[in-house]
Chains A and B, each alone.
Chain A
Amino acid sequence: MSRRSGTVSGSRRRDRSLSAGARRRRREWTGWLYLAPAMVFYGLFVLQPLGRSVQYSLYDWNGIGVARFVGMDNYIKIFDEPDRLTTLVHAFELMLFYTVLSVVLALAAATLTRRLSSGAAHAARTVLFLPQVVPLVGAAIAWSWLYSSDGVINETLRGVGLGQLARPWLGDFDTALPAVGFVGTWVMLGFCMLLLSTGMAKIDPALYDAARVDGAGPVAEFFAVTLPGVRRELTVCVTLTMIAALASFDVVYVMTSGGPGRATAVPGVEIYQLAFTQAKVGAASAMGVVLMVLVLAVILPIQRLMRER
């Protein structure tokens, strides 16, 4: 009897453990099932095109005719032709405007609006965020007008007696890239400021009180409390603005198409021209792959660097 009951209880225990494993397995299955639609789309619309691009980059192909396998030739050409290399240098120069300038200004704006009354702060944030809402192509056209020889900027300069500074900003070799870059600052500033303001709002006010008790002025307070408090938001800002700088296309294409000369040629415009005006799908894909690797090479260390220790 006791033996029997022992067996029963033993088998029951085994049953329970089996069913628990099966349940866990089923739970895992259900998890994957929920994931499946997203994974299918991800594979189809992200991984598959990515794979295709890598494949195309190994061919000399005009998009229509017969493709010829050329191995790494397209990649070698990128680093061999100074013109294509220059575009990468310009992308890093744009980072000054897209990332450095806009993050610094956004930090200042967010810190200042934090001290404003909620109504004024709200108004300031709305004004600064507005460029994010405007389609970039429209903004680029408007900025082209502002920068033109008889545009608002030059007329203002002439009006206040600084006529000698007036110039065709987008047609001048020295000012074209900064002029285009500044539009990037104008666009990214609002986004960064909003993100940083949100970050600042969740900093515990007690920290500020403590800093003040320790005798910290506004500057020390900023570096001791505010800056560490928005570290995560800062990472996101820096990451996204860097990607925007490296992958910039629309603003440059609309405002200068890479000119004058090659003063504003960036990888995005170069890829577009290779693929669609020169019908070199392979070379364009190789440039795209290099750009992707470059973005990852810049972003991953930043992620590591700015992660909380």
Chain B
Amino acid sequence: MSLPLMTGARRRVRRLALAGVGVTLVTSACSAPGPGTTTSSVPSGNVSTALPTEKTTVALYLESNFAGQMTPLTEAFTRKYPNITFSVKSDEFANLLQNAQKVMASPEAPDIVRYPQVAAAAKNGLLTNLDPYAKAYGWDTWPSTLLDQMTVNTKGVRGSGPLYGLGIGYGSTGVYYNKTLAKRIGMTQPPKTIDEFESLMAKAKKQGIQPIMQSGKDAGLAFPYQALQNQFGNTDELKKWLYNEPGATFDLPSSLKAAEVLRKWARAEYLPSDVNAIDYPTMMGRFAKGEGLFMFNGDWEASNLQKNTKGNTGFFLVPGTSASAPHYAMAAPSSFVIPKNAKHADVAAFFLNWVHTAPEARRLVVETTGSSPGGPSGLALPKAGSELQRQTLAGAQEVASENGAVDFVANATAGILAGALSPGLQELATGRMSPRDFVDSVQEAYESELGR
């Protein structure tokens, strides 16, 4: 029964096998993997803003959790332009991240792809340069704070260069609170400073109420962490880091201070004792059940929470260090790109333009995503359905008007969340890593991933 690994009679076969490996190595070593060069995406200039008259099917590749949100939009579009129909493929978010670049590289690439890592795909030459469309449709006159996140220059740095994506829903974040628990601790209005916020949590803790419900298992701690980081200044430097500018560093006073405050909160048991075992669905369930006064999250959950807590949830923007400080919030478009290999790029661009400008589409975006529809600043914001949605939308607008939108730190590089932020915050929250070491470890992982 011993494994036939080294029996003498098979030596010849083994030698043959080794020769086989050798041959394979030699033959495959002749050429490097991948293409010889990446072709940079030069805009052709000939773009059409007219829809074709023949029957056309636009292929979409979406995130499965949010594929349903797209249906009302595509249906409304087909009602208006009956010769344009849509075919949808979707993947769970993590799978989408893994597969999207390969899917876009194939000759059968879809026409519109939900893809958050715009810089990586643009650098690999996989995306259509949208500048000609931006000029033709006037996207270049829209407020730039959110579109900036989807511009990428030739070095793969975001924040400048051609536009490569548009958002369907421009999400923003803040703090949800449980109205019943807030009343019990005497919170009559949202806190105006971080100090006030902290004293509310102390009150809650004293009364046996869980101050914060957050998911540490799948990187949910990045929400309160960056919420603090944004308020402590250095947001311009942080944006440089987020956009991968050469020489940018995470080692900022604000990064360190946020880590210190988060650790203080963990020590004071403002975070759940089993925070590292809580995943996102568990967090949502426990908060909705009344476990937790506050939860750091985004406007995409507004309609969910309104329904599941029967109107018992309120929302406020993360307060600053002083009552007069401008508001900063993590905010990012749910970005959609047009692959370079797309067969119907013109139709895709027409559709994205329609989503941003047609009143019906804007209403549907607000209804289904809960987020701002973006688009020209002159257009009126559609009326949101629920009270909670009105609060989150008003918050997002306030942030936009104060120029306080900052992309998620998790979007800095593809691997930073799983590789450094998530494990680091888990160790920080349990006192296993010092704030200094946390900041250093994030920067180290960032440099290693970007090959700096």
Contact = CB atoms under 8 A, between A and B. Distances in A.
Q: Do A and B come from one complex?
A: yes
Contacts of A280: 415, 449
Contacts of A303: 2-3, 5-6
Interface in B64-100: 94, 97-98
Nearest to B4: A303
A92 B435 CA distance: 30
Interface in A32-55: 42-43, 47-48, 50-52, 54-55
Contacts of A99: none
Interface in A237-254: 239
Contact of A64 (B102, B217, B274): B102
Given A50-B24, A273-B415, A300-B5, A66 B37 contact: yes
Contacts, number: 155
B419 A66 contact: no
A55 B38 contact: no
Given A50-B21, A66-B35, A259-B426, A148 B3 contact: no
Contacts of A274: 415
Given A67-B34, A260-B426, A303-B2, A168 B276 contact: yes
Contacts of B51: none
Contact of B32 (A59, A199, A276, A300): A59
Given A59-B32, A59-B33, A64 B126 contact: yes
B319 interface: no
B17 interface: yes
B25 interface: yes
B33 A47 contact: no
Nearest to B427: A261
Interface string A271-309: 001101111110000000000000000011001101110
B127 to A, nearest CB: 12
Interface residues of A, number: 59
A63 interface: yes
Contact of B28 (A51, A61, A306): A51
A259 B276 contact: yes
Interface in B130-156: none
A279 B419 contact: no
A149 B423 CA distance: 20
Max count, chain A CB within 10 A of own CB: residue among B36, B418, B424, B433:
B418
A24 B6 CA distance: 26
A62 B124 contact: yes
Interface string B5-30: 11000000000010011001100110
Given A59-B32, A259-B426, A260-B276, A278 B414 contact: yes
A51 B24 contact: yes
A199 B2 CA distance: 12
A170 B277 contact: yes
B343 interface: no
Contacts of B29: 55
Interface in B432-452: 432-433, 448-449, 451
B1 interface: yes
A65 B97 contact: no
B432 to A, nearest CB: 6
B33 A67 contact: yes
A262 B124 CA distance: 31
Interface residues of B, number: 56
A51 B276 contact: no
Nearest to A148: B277
Nearest to B428: A261
Interface string A75-94: 00000010000000000000
A236 interface: yes
Contacts of A262: 423
Contacts of A62: 120, 124
Contacts of B94: 277
Q: Give the residue among A66, A274, A281 with the most B Cβ atoms within 10 A.
A: A66
B415 A277 contact: yes
Contact of B25 (A54, A59, A259, A260): A54
A276 B98 contact: yes
B2 A279 contact: no
A232 interface: yes
Contact of B120 (A173, A256, A279): A279
Nearest to B449: A278
| Most central of A47, A171, A239 by chain B CB within 10 Å | A171
Contacts of A277: 94, 97-98, 414-415, 417-419
A168 B277 contact: yes
B3 to A, nearest CB: 6
Contacts of B448: 81
Contacts of A278: 413-415, 418-419, 449
B257 interface: no
Interface string B88-122: 00000010011001100100000000000000100
B194 to A, nearest CB: 27
B155 to A, nearest CB: 14
Interface of A: 42-43, 47-48, 50-52, 54-56, 59-67, 69, 81, 148-149, 167-173, 199, 232-233, 235-236, 239, 256-262, 265, 273-274, 276-281, 299-300, 303-304, 306-308
Given A47-B21, A199-B1, 14 more contacts: A50-B24, A51-B28, A55-B28, A60-B451, A168-B273, A169-B277, A171-B274, A172-B276, A232-B2, A261-B426, A262-B423, A277-B98, A277-B419, A280-B449
12 contacts: A51-B21, A64-B101, A171-B217, A173-B427, A236-B2, A257-B218, A277-B414, A277-B418, A300-B5, A303-B3, A303-B5, A306-B2
> Which are the 7 A-B pairs with shortest beta-carbon distances?
A171-B277, A278-B415, A51-B24, A168-B277, A168-B274, A232-B1, A171-B276
